[in-house]
Amino acid sequence: MIITKQKAVDDIIRALKGAKSTFIFGCGDCATLCRTGGTKEIGEMTEILNQNGISVTGSSVPKATCHELDVQRLLRAHKEQVARAESVLVLACGAGIQAVGDSITKPVVSGCDSLFIGNSRRQMQFSEKCSVCGECVLNENAGLCPETRCPKGMQNGPCGGAVRGRCEVDSSLPCVWIEIYERMRAFGRLDEMRRVRGPKNRKVAARPHRMGNWPSVRGDDGNV
């Protein structure tokens, strides 16, 4: 899931650039779990905006705001409320914000900052375990990702600065390479750790990514 935090109210109001009315989109998936863009947060934001002289013409919480066709369907369903708004405020990740922005001609304002792809352990307890690097090394590291879980991104073993199994950079973290070593030893795979890995292929992480049957040349209107 995409972990987000809500922007400061002053920053949101500043980004609205004097608009006196707005329509709010939330997200029923990640932003709801992060408590940054669910129904409750939209209600709170509506109250704050009203106190600052900005009326909210309506709101919608898609199941997942990054689903572009669903966003377009909801824009049609709320077309009168959206038409009365001078802008649209989106409380979701960057993908959701752009899904709305690509579907409407009104100014779209981001109400959240996207932080990382996170695992959820308990309510409001998230940790980053994948960097979406495009060349996964979990199979070679007993299911642990040094790319993400080592602050230095070490690819061929520990840096040598760990103290009592804790990371040199952040002592609240275990050294992932010690964890990898312990797992590899338990699996009888220590010999594999002698192999020196070359540099990762960073081309596979080049942005923006696409997958599926996209035209080789695409205009803003989706036409080749």
94-100 mean pLDDT:
97
Q: Are residues 60 and 142 in the same domain?
A: no
Q: Lowest-pLDDT range, 14-18, 187-191, 208-212? A: 208-212
Give the model confidence (pLDDT) of 108-151 as tens digits: 999 999 999 999 988 888 999 999 998 999 999 999 999 999 99
- State the SS3 of the chain: CEEEEECCHHHHHHHCCCCCEEEEECCCCHHHHCCCCCHHHHHHHHHHHHHCCCEEEEEECCCCCCCHHHHHHHHHHCHHHHHHCCEEEECCCHHHHHHHHCCCCCCEEECEEEEEEEEEEECCEEEECCCCCCCCCHHHHCCCCHHHHCCCCCCCCCCCCCECCECCCCCCCECHHHHHHHHHHHCCCHHHHHCCCCCCCHHHHCCCCCCCCCCCCCCCCCCC
pLDDT value at 215 more than 70: yes
Kindly report the pTM of this predicted structure.
0.85
Please give the pLDDT value at position 97. Answer: 97
Q: Are residues 185 and 146 in the same domain?
A: yes
Domain boundary among 52, 84, 116: 116
Whether 38 is in a domain gets the answer: yes
Whether 161 is in a domain gets the answer: yes
Whether 127 is in a domain gets the answer: no
Domain boundary among 81, 116, 151: 116
Q: What is the mean pLDDT of the chain?
A: 92
Considering its fold, how many domains does the chain have in total? 2
- In this prediction, residue 19 has a pLDDT band, given cuts at 50, 70 and 90, of very high
Q: Are residues 144 and 183 in the same domain?
A: yes
Whether 156 is in a domain gets the answer: yes
pLDDT value at 212 more than 70: yes
Whether 96 is in a domain gets the answer: yes
Q: Are residues 100 and 141 in the same domain?
A: no
Q: Are residues 150 and 189 in the same domain?
A: yes
- In this prediction, residue 219 has a pLDDT band, given cuts at 50, 70 and 90, of low
Whether 186 is in a domain gets the answer: yes
Q: Are residues 110 and 155 in the same domain?
A: no
Q: What is the CATH number of the domain that holds 62?
A: 3.40.50.2300
Range of the domain at 103: 2-116
Give the model confidence (pLDDT) of 156-173 as tens digits: 999 999 999 999 999 999
Please give the pLDDT value at position 223. Answer: 32
Q: Are residues 64 and 157 in the same domain?
A: no
Residue bearing the bigger pLDDT, 217 or 181 = 181
Q: Are residues 102 and 147 in the same domain?
A: no
